[in-house]
Chain A
Amino acid sequence: MSAADSFAAPVAEVPGGGQTLLTVEHLTMRFGGLVAIDDVSFLGADGRITAIIGPNGAGKTTLFNCLTGFYKPTVGRLTLHHPEGEFLLERLEGYRTAQKASVARTFQNIRLFPRMTVLENLIVAQHNKLMRASGFTAAGLFGLKVYRDAEAKAVDLARYWLDHTKLTEKADVEAGNLPYGDQRRLEIARAMCTEPVLLCLDEPAAGLNPRESHDLNDLLRYIRNEHKIGILLIEHDMSVVMEISDHIIVLDYGRKISDGTPKAVRNDPAVIRAYLGQEEHEELPPEIMAGADNAGRSPDDA
């Protein structure tokens, strides 16, 4: 929780507006000789959706893994401006990023607890809160009221997110038995149940059909507008990205090649080069612009 003011970046405007929530400075991640992320810096804002896009292998997921404590960055500083103080994310190991700094994430290949029910998945997400309420199990073992109340509240929160992800009816179904689109939404609901300040979504629209993809847009907007948290979004589906993001960062071969509002990024020649390898096009190509029909992707492949 050490303050980072001595190293604070010059107060810059976040493209797309909003209060700075996340400051990434000179992030570099090497695996042996491979440089997955090379000196990337950017700002992420509170109450805004920041999309991170780029071709496959650009280092997007690695960036997420650095932010959420799965990898320790080789170089760089990741500051989270949490309401309770500043956290240096690169110093938080593993689970502590979620526990202390309230950073939540989802995974590219969905990671639910398949043999637990939907509701249980959401209750497990509130583990730390409930552990304290159960007096680290002692109070819970004797069924004290403190714990029973806390559990009821946890169920209420779960219920809230179930309602907003349209999963209420399936609350008692095993998560592994849900259809694919439901699993994606459940993972978001589970992340939200940790009551995060920063939500990192790794390709939430992958494998969704157009209707589900549209619902997802609504859900993400709702989270942004009503809960005022920052959302980082990795996404290939440009219909989602262009429609809902306030701010886009483009990575290519581990470097940041563009950073700005959707409009600015869309017209950035560097981005077009990265996606097409040539300079003539003024706009992003149609298959990137109109990813809405998800050409060539079936909902089940993931």
Chain B
Amino acid sequence: MAVSAAEGIDIRPLNLAAMVREASITALVVFALAIGLVGFETLDVPGGVAIRTRFADVAVVMALAFVGRIALILLREHRPRPVLIVAPILTAIMLVLLLSETIFGSESGAALKRFMPFHDPVVLWGVVAVTVILAVRAAYAQTHVSSSLTLEERDARMDRIGAGVQRAARLLGPLLLGAAIVLPFMPFADRRVLDIGVLVLMYVMLGWGLNIVVGLAGLLDLGYVAFYAVGAYSFALLATQFDVSFWVALPFAGLMAGTAGVLLGFPVLRLRGDYLAIVTLGFGEMIRVILLNWYSFTGGPDGVSGIPRPSFFGLAEFSRSVPDGTAFHEMFGLEYASIHRIIFLFYLILAMALVVNVFTMRIRKLPIGRAWEALREDETACRSLGINPRNTKLTAFGIGAMFAGFAGSFFATRQGFISPESFTFIESAVILAIVVLGGFGSQIGVVIAAVVLIGLPEFFRDLQQYRMLAFGMAMVLIMLWRPAGLLAHREPTLRLFGRDKKPETNS
């Protein structure tokens, strides 16, 4: 039975003037924020920069801020009903505008579209999302005593969901793996689908690798892509300069990246976590600068091309005809098809990602893994127990870097060409966003996040330009909503009693 909102809490009389004043201040702040960068657009014209105004957008943003603030005040003052009525109406109006062409046909639809407050539908979708959230909160407030959960309640709930997802993952994991294994043989699995699959799996592997560093050891690595770059270039240069094959160069590339991680981590890991974050951020950029400028060694902006493709475990090559060796299709008596190589790459990255996963699952239950988590929780206590903080962190950092190096080699051999452009800070940010969205330490969360963050934008190309904006915003919102990470849930590494026997929880 739903409890009326009026019960049990005292509802203050609504002070309209104060409400309008508060909302006006918000609108004013939004005006100050928007007038410069939204209100005026710098246009590139020959010989300099010109300016165009966008005052309508500023006005709309202000109006939205005003209305939104009023809605929040009403929710805060336990008067959700007006919000419950207005928010769905606004949502409906905007949806009609957004989908006008589909609903009314292209002509009248286009006419309606002129009423759209923003010309960019993506922004409007964002507004729709906000009104939907407001409506949901209002509905919640209508049926519950409080309009929102406290941080602890939310944390406990999300933890249960996270636990549920992880339990489901024990069933879902093998299913997903099975699906991945049969994917290349599905009728719809054309080259494009497989390419996206390979891409997603690369980010799954990188996410799992970074999860060791960020999720388990609690070290914020903002230059993860640097180790990826070290791996890729080590591999590319070995393969092109010294004719070393993929299978020999792969471990070496991982080793190089791991060494780079240890060398960088050594001076910094004894300091507070913030320093590590900024040093890795700087390191990522420096590696890029060096790759860009050390022309004789790395090819500078031209990069390294002609990187050999991986062979079938050194036994056969994936080409139509191999002058001095075996071709894959001949070896198995198949028709030649260029997709064979892609399928092989798909399985290769699947196997590599799985290695990282199995490694992480195992190491969590070993002393070193427990020490990582303990360090994340309390470094001082760790020292009092005789745990060497620096070396312990260094192993996490080095192992994370090594896996990035492996992934980098795969990237190099898949592309056949690498240049510094592939290793910008944005890549690090994307990988971090995957880990944050997935929930620190959650293996299945990383998979879900990689599919959402990498897979979806690949299918919806016109969202590309908003991708990083959304990632940045998502990182902030998730941390505000649940600092532990969206789907984070920690399963104990060992239990005295079985999982099912629940001794009393006295708290």
- A contacts B directly in the complex (CB < 8 Å)? yes
Chain A CB within 10 A, most for which of B363, B366, B385: B385
B366 adjacent to A137 (CB under 8 Å): yes
A194 adjacent to B385 (CB under 8 Å): yes
Is B20 in contact with chain A by the CB < 8 A criterion?
Answer: no
- 1/0 per residue, CB under 8 A from B, across A70-99: the answer is 100000000000000000000000111111
A119 adjacent to B496 (CB under 8 Å): yes
Is B39 in contact with chain A by the CB < 8 A criterion?
Answer: no
Complex interface: chain A residues within 8 A of B386 (CB): 95-100, 127-128, 194
B495 adjacent to A172 (CB under 8 Å): yes
Q: A111-B378, A125-B385, A172-B492 are in contact. Are A141 and B362 (CB under 8 A)?
A: yes
CA gap between A123 and B494 in the complex, in Å: 9
Is B383 in contact with chain A by the CB < 8 A criterion?
Answer: yes
**Count of A-B contacts with CB under 8 A?**
142
Is A117 in contact with chain B by the CB < 8 A criterion?
Answer: yes
Is A40 in contact with chain B by the CB < 8 A criterion?
Answer: no
Of residues 153 to 208 in A, which have CB atoms within 8 Å of B's CB atoms? 155, 158-159, 162, 168-173, 177-179, 182, 190-191, 194
- 1/0 per residue, CB under 8 A from A, across B471-507: the answer is 0000000000000000000101111110000011111
Is B433 in contact with chain A by the CB < 8 A criterion?
Answer: no
Contact surface of B with A, Cβ cutoff 8 Å: 359, 362-363, 366-368, 370-371, 373-374, 377-378, 380-389, 395, 490, 492-497, 503-507
Q: Can you spell out 29 A-B residue pairs with CB atoms less than 8 angstroms apart?
A: A95-B387, A104-B384, A105-B384, A107-B384, A112-B381, A114-B377, A119-B492, A119-B495, A120-B370, A124-B370, A124-B374, A124-B382, A125-B385, A127-B370, A127-B371, A127-B374, A127-B386, A136-B368, A137-B363, A137-B367, A140-B367, A155-B494, A168-B496, A170-B503, A170-B505, A173-B503, A177-B505, A178-B507, A179-B506
Within the complex, the shortest CB–CB distance from A158 to chain B, in Å, comes to 8
Contact surface of A with B, Cβ cutoff 8 Å: 68-70, 94-100, 104-105, 107, 111-117, 119-120, 123-125, 127-128, 130-131, 134, 136-137, 140-141, 143, 147, 151, 155, 158-159, 162, 168-173, 177-179, 182, 190-191, 194
Q: Which residue of A lies closest to B507 (CB)?
A: A177
Complex interface: chain A residues within 8 A of B374 (CB): 113, 116, 124, 127
Q: Which residue of A lies closest to B366 (CB)?
A: A140
Q: Which residue of A lies closest to B359 (CB)?
A: A141
Q: A98-B386, A107-B384 are in contact. Are A117 and B495 (CB under 8 A)?
A: yes
Chain B CB within 10 A, most for which of A96, A107, A124, A141: A124
B384 adjacent to A115 (CB under 8 Å): no
Complex interface: chain B residues within 8 A of A99 (CB): 386-388
A171 adjacent to B388 (CB under 8 Å): no
Q: Which residue of A lies closest to B399 (CB)?
A: A137
CA gap between A172 and B499 in the complex, in Å: 9
CA gap between A125 and B507 in the complex, in Å: 24
